[in-house]
Amino acid sequence: MKALRRLTVRAEFPPELQKLSDIVSNLRWSWHPDSQDLLESVDPELWHGCGGDPGRMLGEVTGARLSLLARDRRFLRRLDDVHDDLTDYLTQPRWYQRQQDSGDHVLPESIAYFSPEFGITEVLPQYSGGLGILAGDHLKAASDLGVPIIGVGLLYRSGYFSQSLSRDGWQLERYPSLDPQGLPIKPLNERAGDKNTPLVRISLPLTDGRDLHAQVWVAEVGRVPLLLLDSDIEENDTSARQITDRLYGGGKEHRLEQELLLGVGGVRAIRAYCRASGRAAPVVFHTNEGHAGFLGVERIRELVEHDDLSFDEALQAVRAGTVFTTHTPVPAGIDRFPRDLVEAHLTAMPGVAVDRVLELGAEDDPEIFNMAHMGFRLGGRANGVSLLHGEVSREMFSGLWPGFDTGEVPIVSVTNGVHAPTWMSREITEIVEREVGAETVDEGSWDAVDRVGDVELWSTRRVLRERLVNEIRRRIRTSSLQRGMTEAELGWTSSAFDPDVLTIGFARRVPSYKRLTLMLRDPERLKSLLLHPERPVQIVIAGKSHPADDGGKQLIAQMVRFADDAGVRNRIAFLPDYDIGMARYLYWGVDVWLNNPLRPLEACGTSGMKAALNGALNLSILDGWWDEWFDGENGWAIPSADGVADPDRRDEVEAAALYGLIEQQVAPRFYERTSGGVPTRWVQQVRHTIKVLGPKVMATRMVRDYVQRLYAPAAEAAERLTQDKFTAARQLAHWRSDVLAAWPGVQVLHVDSQVDGDPQLGGVLQLRAEVSLNGLTDSDVEVSAVYGTVDTEDRLTDVRTLPLSPVEQGDGVSRFEGDVPLERTGSFGYTVRVLPKSDLVSTPADLGVVAVAR
């Protein structure tokens, strides 16, 4: 008989151990070594048996053991020290507070960060892959820096899925039922922290007159509260209870209802949380991908209903404080819903201007509602997640800004980062903290890593590799038993892999563009690398395919079949159920991190960053972050056959390049040893990798970039538009309306130019333009000369702009002029364009209109 529900029953804490509850209830323990050591000492055997889950361990530890600890003075001193450290961490000013005191930036008092998934720790399985891990690292780094973020997501009662393999290597999915009472979360009460007040519930209407209710849970991520909405409560009917059943599960309507709950319900949850906790309401709202885009719709509805704004006025106020981050470099990665389905759900919500909201998600197909398009139209500021991804995004979404060159599309780049305390091994952390310092953010200070000796660094890397090998053996054995093999068949697993062999890691989601099986393009050549008599290689592989992606599952099965071959199974393994717990061992222990996506389809690819933090060298296609920070000494770049149209031919070319690099450069360098057994040249690259990439790949660097480049400007813009009862928002809305109405008649009528004598370097081009403004004034526009080098098709490259000054207005024609410097030799070209201009918009491209001389 199967249990309908379950809960965790714990022994009562003695008064002397009450501080344990504070430590366990804050997820800072998941990245704080002293906290982990303390918790392990409660019951070491039980700690390991519970997979390092303190909540589960404390649910199973005996009262007798707790009573013993309550009398253990040494344990109580350690408990006091860890608790005091946590208290200081949560209360003392940090980087953000120092920035506020300096007055260098107008910084928001509170920031909301919305994401469909968060990867904080494996004991809170609310993530599927890189997007969630990135979101978790964002919150952790914000906590470390003191950035006042409030995270918002959904609580999936079955998480993503647990992965296992069939005998023939096919991916099998299991959805464990998660007990919220056993997770490191607490329900939100109407007075936060007071269990005697009612639980907070939020609700929103659905179609057919139904209401969707959700309970709000809170996970404490250091200083950052993470609000998780849960629809599996008794107020809902059966269908509504299942809305938060699985991450990325169900059909279109199910996903749409999840995203409405995340966006609309998330704003309502934030309002409830701020009332309950007394925390300042967010000024800036950050949408991590398009899934939470409906948060902007709810905020517009609030302003229309409570502040007597029109839709357009409210839209401007909301846009000013909204940051939108896109993570996908391919259209297939965008959430798109049938327009009529979105319309039906929005119609059920009182106060929503349905037609106007549908315009926000419009795309070329009039039957489709595009969540990314809504994200850009609601976001006053937008970014990609690496320099290359920013370029790809500007090209991909350029249609939203017609008439602008790709380089002028207002999507900037903030390259992702990873949370070092989570992903860096203790051994490497100790080295870095000893030489560089515990909290340094200065890139130059990382030069101190040069002081670390070759022997120490090499022996440390060997310890980490051996730890990985032991974990691989354990997991191979466990997986083999799950696949139906017997103990008698598994003797070989105790000697699988070798702690002295060059170890390559490959682990990530398994969509086709990441090319899990590129290394299998020539199986015999791969075997020769694995089994080389002097320079063998071993490869550990992991990754999950989406349950609906049979193509991805076939790739996994192909890889597993190859790894099952008795001739190579000691040198290559596919480990099922890739999660945070497994990932740490991989990032710590591999010598080389392999990444071979189809360029430029990897938006960032943070797994290689985590490996680099531990001294692994990257072997990657120049895509995502690697395109930005590869310097020739921190790893190897796999040549990309970008111009080859045939995908099979391209795979063949790039696979051959991969084999060649491993065979001719990577393996020889690893095995090239001194008389003392140290590969000096390899260790130099390891040292260089830590020194150069360490400060760059950190999530604290990423969050500082967001604060300075996006959050602070967004907060300043939001404050400006909302003060004095939204006076500036009203002005901006009316100005936009007037400009867009007049724009079809705005034209550059005539351009005249003159150069004194022959055009020579250092000379001046005198430019005059006559422009019809169709009723607009000179102050409504910026008329500019656009000039640069001209290619063979008369296109301007290396473009610069120079504003022209108004000199005369009459008869419906305005005249502008200016002097364009002749700063370069060779083919030179120019034109004149007109853009809307207002100090209330963040970029001249904000309205998406431009008039160019023809």
Q: What is the pLDDT of residues 116-158, one digit of tens each?
A: 999 999 999 999 989 999 999 999 999 999 999 999 999 999 9
Token duo for residue 124: 């809170």
Find, among 435, 689, 658, the residue nearest to 587 by Cα.
689
* C-alpha distances in Å from residue 134, one per residue of 141, 147, 534: 10, 16, 39
The contacts of residue 61 (CB under 8 Å, 6+ apart) are 11, 42, 43, 46
Burial class (CB in 10 A: 0-12, 13-18, 19+), 354: middle
Q: Is 618 helix (H, G, I), strand (E, B) or coil?
A: strand
Q: What is the pLDDT of residues 502-541, one digit of tens each?
A: 999 999 999 989 999 999 999 999 999 999 999 999 999 9
Using the predicted structure, report yes or no on whether residue 329 has a pLDDT greater than 90.
Answer: no
Q: What is the pLDDT of residues 382-394, one digit of tens each?
A: 999 999 999 999 9
Is residue 699 within 8 Å of 138, Cβ to Cβ? yes
Q: Is 1 helix (H, G, I), strand (E, B) or coil?
A: coil
Find, among 821, 823, 846, 826, the residue nearest to 836 by Cα.
846
List the end-to-end C-alpha distance of the chain, in Å, as a whole number.
Answer: 78
Find, among 427, 321, 463, the residue nearest to 379 by Cα.
321
Give the phi and the psi of residue 393 in degrees, each rounded to 5. -65, -40
Give me the percent of the chain exceeding a pLDDT of 90. 86
* DSSP letter for each residue of 258-307: HHHIIIIIHHHHHHHHHHHH-PPPPSEEEEESGGGTHHHHHHHHHHHHHH
Q: What's the 3-state SS for 518-549?
A: HHHCCHHHHHHHHCCCCCCEEEEEECCCCCCC
Find, among 562, 221, 653, 625, the residue nearest to 422 by Cα.
221
Find, among 783, 792, 788, the residue nearest to 815 by Cα.
783
* pLDDT bracket for residue 192 (50, 70, 90): confident
Amino acid of residue 413: S
Residue length of the chain: 854
pLDDT of residue 4: 58
* DSSP letter for each residue of 305-361: HHH---HHHHHHHHHHTEEEE---SSGGGS-EEEHHHHHHHHHTSTT--HHHHHHHT
pLDDT of residue 185: 96
Is residue 504 within 8 Å of 636, Cβ to Cβ? no
* DSSP letter for each residue of 153-195: EE--TT-S-EEEE-TT--EEEE-PPP-GGGSS-EEPBSSTT-T
Q: Is 253 helix (H, G, I), strand (E, B) or coil?
A: helix
Using the predicted structure, report yes or no on whether residue 832 has a pLDDT greater than 70.
Answer: yes
51: left (phi over 0), alpha (psi -120 to 50) or beta: left
The contacts of residue 131 (CB under 8 Å, 6+ apart) are 115, 116, 117, 288, 289, 327
What is the overall mean pLDDT for the chain? Answer: 94
C-alpha span between 590 and 499 (Å, rounded): 10
Burial class (CB in 10 A: 0-12, 13-18, 19+), 428: buried
Token duo for residue 482: 């799950």
Predicted structure pTM score: 0.96
Is residue 205 within 8 Å of 130, Cβ to Cβ? no
pLDDT of residue 10: 64
Is residue 748 within 8 Å of 833, Cβ to Cβ? yes
C-alpha span between 789 and 560 (Å, rounded): 54
Q: What is the pLDDT of residues 649-704, one digit of tens each?
A: 999 999 999 999 999 999 999 999 999 999 999 999 999 999 999 999 999 999 99
* C-alpha distances in Å from residue 222, one per residue of 26, 51, 416, 417, 699: 6, 21, 20, 18, 15
Residue 81 CB coordination number (10 Å): 12
C-alpha span between 310 and 465 (Å, rounded): 62
Q: What is the pLDDT of residues 790-820, one digit of tens each?
A: 887 888 888 899 999 999 877 789 999 999 9
* C-alpha distances in Å from residue 91, one per residue of 38, 193, 224, 483: 21, 17, 12, 50
